[in-house]
Every structure is written in structure tokens, then in C-alpha cells.
Amino acid sequence: MRQQDNKIIFTGPVGAGKTTAIGSISEIAPVKTDARASDMTLARKAETTVALDYGRLSLEGGVRVHLYGTPGQERFDFMWEIVSQGALGLIVLVDNTRPNPSADLQFFLTAFKALLNDAPLVIGVTKTDLSAQPSAEDYANLMEKFGLRPPILEIDPRDGDDVRQLLMALLFSIDPGLEG
């Protein structure tokens, strides 16, 4: 962890809960760039992120964690590399109600491969109350194929405690000496 400013990226498909997760833990009113959905996203939700989401947390010792959420649509992938510059870690949220959440996860791992060469990963599986499959074990097996063993947590992005656990798993991956 850096002494002052640290950047964490939240990514994943449309509707996985990125905007909600950032809003549930940010100590400031989150910056959102939502616009009315006009494509196939409209089938999942009325509004969608078109640029990025931003929130902030302060830790002990004046350390700040800046939280950036990417848009989930592939047409905004040009922004992902830009937003990722200088990031210390990546949180991928996977919506278990989507038609193929394992393929979604693989897509985002590939899209953020450059960041993952230098930064740790944590996976948050959302909407498991609506669809229990794939299971956390299924995702862990998939990660093995990528040679990765990230923490995988089932979370509700509306629950600040769930999102804090996800973020703490990432922060401990970055700096195992952190105090809770």
C-alpha cells in the first residue's frame, strides 16, 4: 500500500453491482455516470454506467483508497486500460443470474490481463440468493485453469459489510501486514 493514495478497480458485467458496491462503502457521495440504458442492457436495468463510478475510503494513518468502477459493456473497453493505470488491485464482480457467469469472468480476466500481471485479484459473486450456480468452488476450479487462486466471496453489493470484506481481502493480498 502507498502512504497516501491508492486505486482499486471494480469491474464486471452490466448489473453485477459495481455502482452499488462502491456506493455502499464510499465515505463520500459516490460520483456516478449513469445514463438511461438504450441497448440490450435495458433488459437488465433502466440505467447503466457510461464512464465510471468513483468513491473513496480513508484508512488509518491518512491512507486513502480511491474506488473506481468501470462500465460493464464491452463497447467501453477502451476506458478499462486508462482507468487501470496505477491501480493496486482488481475486484471482479460476477452476476450469478446472467446466462453464463463463468464466461463473463473469463472475459474480464482476459480484458484486465495486463493489470493482473502486477496486481492482485478478488472475485465477488453477486445474486447467489437468486441463482446458486455456479458455486464458489466452480469459480475456484475455473481460476485454477488460469493459474490463479484469488479469494472468492459471495456478496450482496448493497451490504456495506460484505463489500468491506471483499475490499479487505484485496487489501490483505496487497499488504498482508495491514491491521483490520
Write the CA distances from 116 to 51, 79, 98, 100, integer angstroms.
22, 16, 24, 22
The DSSP string of 140-161 is: HHHHHHTT----EEE--TT-HH
Does residue 80 belong to any structural domain of this protein? yes
Domain membership of residue 16 as a residue range: 5-174
Q: Answer whether the bond into residue 71 is a cis peptide, omega within 30°.
A: no
pLDDT at 46 over 60: no
Does residue 147 belong to any structural domain of this protein? yes
Q: If you average pLDDT over every residue of the chain, what do you get? A: 88
When pLDDT is averaged across residues 60-66 and rounded to a whole number, the result is 88
**Which CATH number fits the domain that encloses residue 30?**
3.40.50.300
pLDDT at 171 over 60: yes
Q: Alpha-carbon distance 11 to 14, whole Å?
A: 9
Please state the pTM of the whole predicted model: 0.88
Does residue 180 belong to any structural domain of this protein? no
Each residue's pLDDT tens digit, 99-140: 999 999 999 999 999 999 999 999 999 999 999 999 999 999
CA torsion sign, 43 to 48 to 51 to 55?
A: negative
Does residue 167 belong to any structural domain of this protein? yes
Each residue's pLDDT tens digit, 72-101: 878 778 888 889 999 999 999 999 999 999
Does residue 20 belong to any structural domain of this protein? yes
The model's confidence at residue 156, banded by pLDDT at 50, 70 and 90, is: very high
Total structural domains in the chain? 1
Does residue 103 belong to any structural domain of this protein? yes
Residue 167 has a pLDDT of 94
Does residue 179 belong to any structural domain of this protein? no
Name all contacts of 149-153 with Cβ < 8 Å and 24+ positions apart: 150/120, 150/121, 150/122, 150/123, 151/122, 151/123, 152/122, 152/123, 152/125, 153/122, 153/123, 153/124, 153/125
Percentage of the chain beyond pLDDT 90 is 66
Does residue 83 belong to any structural domain of this protein? yes
Q: Alpha-carbon distance 22 to 79, whole Å?
A: 18
